[in-house]
Structure 1
Amino acid sequence: FLSYFCLFPDFSSALTLLVLSSPIPQVKQSLPQTGGEQMMDSCVFYAEKLLRNITDTLTQTKLFSGIDCRKQNMELNLETSTPSVCSPRTSTCSGSTKSEFDEESCLMNIGADLTHYHNLLSAQPDPDNLLNLSVLSSLRELMENCFKESLPTKLAPRKDAVDTTRNFNERLSLCKVLRGFQVRTITINRAISYMNSGEHLQ
């Protein structure tokens, strides 16, 4: 379980399959939210739903005609430290054993990731409403129920689409962004499950 937090691009696809095929763990307790409220057990479900929708969207031919997103590089959000601060106690991803887990820092970084991708994807042209009905819908659902303080109050203006088809570079860029979001969401899923399991309190 701990090794799943040591993410590298070359085996992210195998890790995605592992996450998607794993059953939702039984939650032992609620998780404190950064705003002082209680994170509901259903946040595990919302996070998994988001991951599934991202994975499904990467196979949409209307968005990525002529591109196999599974073989593309990814663009990760480098402004947060989610993979490192959300790694469990006793993990050895960096070569040294981690003895402490900062729950507040992990939640803050997850929230910042969600805000980043929400703003980025909300501004994308979406003539067929595919992003809004899948990835953005489940992303907002996770934020509204579990990370309310991270939900932007004002959306970035959506880019105007000249026509209903994206050019190749736009489609490739979106593919890379979603690939990065997919891998980051794997980390978020594991972190939420870890905190809800109560293992970080033992």
Structure 2
Amino acid sequence: MQLIKLYFTPALLLLVVSCPVWQVSQSLPVKGPMKDSCVFYARTLLENITDTLTQNNLFTGIDCTKQSVDLRDTNTPSVCAPKEPTCSGTAKSEFDQHSCLTSIWEDLQYYYRFLAATPDPDIILGPSVLLSLRELMENCFTWSFPADLASKKAFTDQQRTYDERLSLCKVLKGFQVRTITINRVIGYMNSGEHTKDQ
């Protein structure tokens, strides 16, 4: 069973990457493309998460690469993709940008709350993942940044237990997978393809 988990995630990621910008419907009722800066913010977030996963001192005593992925169960992948996605053809469905962005926003809030509540004695999460996550949220979403998120800061004076380090590893791996989806969606909306008529 463990072998299936190890090979399933890379195979799934390979499939997602091999589909050119999600061949979604050509007649999508959306107002306009996402800003170029949002593509940059999303890419920076993904790079920071990926870099953070390689920080050995963050995961002392744990081989994070061998741990399973703790992926938040949301409808982001389905609501941000066509109902019948294919890698080689055009899907017959509509893309609901508002629903997609709402779902992404909920994911980002969840991960921000989790990471802000995680002890960060080496000050790794704050200036990298949390900063880029906050920039993406503040600059690319029309919703205001909630006050309860604005006041949250990663704990810098508390040491992490083994279980906290293990949980952080698994959640960051899940956040990395979700951020790949978010990058693809933002890139798709930035291209303006979803606004073209059939």
Structure 2: gaps spanning 5 or more residues:
1-7, 19-29
- Tell me how far apart the structure 1 counterparts of residues 39 and 154 of structure 2 sit (CA, whole Å): 32
Residue deviations 1:49-86, cap 9 Å, x none?
000000000010111123222221111222x3110111
Q: Give 1:24's aligned residue.
A: none
Give the TM-score of the pair, scaled to structure 1.
Answer: 0.74
1:72 maps to which residue?
Answer: 67
Q: CA-atom RMSD, angstroms?
A: 3.1
Question: Structure 1 residues 84-93 or 124-133, which shifts more?
Answer: 84-93
Q: Does residue 41 of the first structure (1) align with residue 36 of the second (2)?
A: yes
Equivalent position of 1:195 in the other structure: 189
- Corresponding residue for residue 123 of structure 1: 117
The structure whose Rg is larger is 2
Letter of the aligned partner of 2:11 in structure 1? F
For 1:9, the aligned partner's letter is: T
| Alignment CA distance shift 1:162-1:127 (3 Å) | closer
Q: TM-score, normalised by structure 2?
A: 0.76
| 1:167 positional shift | 2.2
Code of the residue aligned with 1:74 in structure 2: it is V
Alignment-derived partner of residue 177 in structure 2: 183
Which residue is 1:23 aligned to? none
Contact 1:112–1:150, Cα closer than 8 Å, also in 2: no
What is the Cα deviation at residue 129 of structure 1?
1.4
Is residue 89–residue 200 contact of structure 1 (8 Å, CA) maintained in 2?
A: no
User: 2:134 is paired with a residue of what secondary structure?
Assistant: helix
8 A contact 1:115–1:152 mirrored in 2: no
Alignment of 1:76-87 (within 5 A): 76-78=71-73, 80-87=74-81
TM superposition shift of 1:163: 5.0
Tell me which residue corresponds to 1:9: 9
Q: CA deviation at 1:88?
A: 4.4
Counterpart CA distance in 2 for 1:135 and 1:125 is 14
Cα distance in 2 for residues equivalent to 1:48 and 1:120: 20
Compared with structure 1, are the counterparts of its residues 135 and 151 closer, same or farther at alpha carbon in structure 2 (3 Å cutoff)?
same
Pair 1:196–1:162, CA change in 2 (3 A)? closer
Structure 1 residue runs without a partner (length 5+)? 1-7, 20-30
Amino acid at match of 1:134: S
Would the aligned equivalents of 1:74 and 1:180 in 2 still touch at CA under 8 Å?
Answer: yes
Number of aligned pairs?
175
Aligned equivalent of 1:106, options 96, 100, 117: 100
Structure 1 pair 69–51 and aligned structure 2 pair: CA distance change class (3 A): same
Amino acid at match of 2:106: A
